[in-house]
Amino acid sequence: MSTESRIAVVTGAGSGIGRGVALALAEAGWSVALAGRRREPLEETAAARDDVLVVPTDVTSPEAVQALFEAVRDRWGRVDLLFNNAGTFAGGGTPVEDLPYETWRSVVDINLTGAFLCAQAAFRAMKEQSPQGGRIINNGSISAHVPRPHSIAYTATKHAMTGLTKSLSLDGRPYRIACGQIDIGNAATEMTERMQTGIPQANGQLAVEPVMDAADVAATVVHMAALPLEANVQFATVMATTMPYIGRG
C-alpha cells in the first residue's frame, strides 16, 4: 500500500488487542483514529503520539459511528483501514438457560451490530473516496470456529462475524475494498487473565491455559494491513501454540 495514504480506524482502541494494534500501526507509519466508549483509555493509548485522533464512540449507535467516520475524513480526507475490534464477552460463564435476554442483546449489539455499522461506514467511505478502495480487518476469534462452555452469545456473534467478513469481501470486489478476518486465541490481555487461574474445559474440568504475547497479534494485523489491495489475507488464526484449540471438545 502507498505510504501516501495510510489512514486507519481502530475500534476498541482503549485497551487490550485494540490498543496494541493501534500502537503498532502508528509505529509502522499509519495515522490512526482511536475509537472506544471511554475517552480516558483512548487518551492513554494516544499518549506521546502525534498523528492520532481520539474519538469516543458507541459502536452500537449509527449516529455515533457516522460521526466517527466523518471526524476521520474531516481530519485526513479518507479511510484506508478499519480494524473492527470492539467487542464484549459479557455473559461468559453463564449457562444458556440462565442467560438474561438483556445480556444476549448487549453482546449482539456490540459484537455484531457494532461491527456491521463500522464496516458499513468504512465501506461507504472507501467506495466514495479517490483513489477508491481500502481494507477492513475484522477481529473474529477462536470462537468463530469452536465454542467454549457457556459462551453462547459470544460464540454466536463470532460465527456471524465470519459471515460478515465473507459478504464484505465479496461485495467489496468492484470497489477495491478487501476484507479479512483474524481469529485470535489466548493473547495476553485483560480479557484473558482468567486463563492463568483456570478456565472451564469441554470435559467439565478447570485448566490453566497458555497465552501468547499480544504484540504478535498486532504484528499480524500490521502485516495484513500493509499488503497491496490486490492481495488479501482472507482468514488468519493466531494463537498460543499449545492452547487447547486443536481437538477442543
What's the whole-number average pLDDT of the chain?
93
Q: Which of 176, 181, 152, 177 is nearest to 164 (CA)?
A: 181
pLDDT mean over 121-149? 95
Residue-level pLDDT at 99: 96
Residue-level pLDDT at 3: 46
**Count of Cβ atoms closer than 10 Å to residue 133 Cβ:** 18
Residue-level pLDDT at 195: 75
pLDDT tens digit string along 88-107?
988 888 999 999 999 999 99
Catalytic residue IDs? 154
pLDDT at 6 over 80: yes
CATH fold label, 7-239:
Rossmann fold (3.40.50)
Place of cell 501454540: 241
Domain boundaries along the sequence of the chain: 7-239
Which pTM value belongs to this model?
0.92
pLDDT tens digit string along 162-187?
999 999 999 999 999 999 999 998 88
Residue-level pLDDT at 1: 47
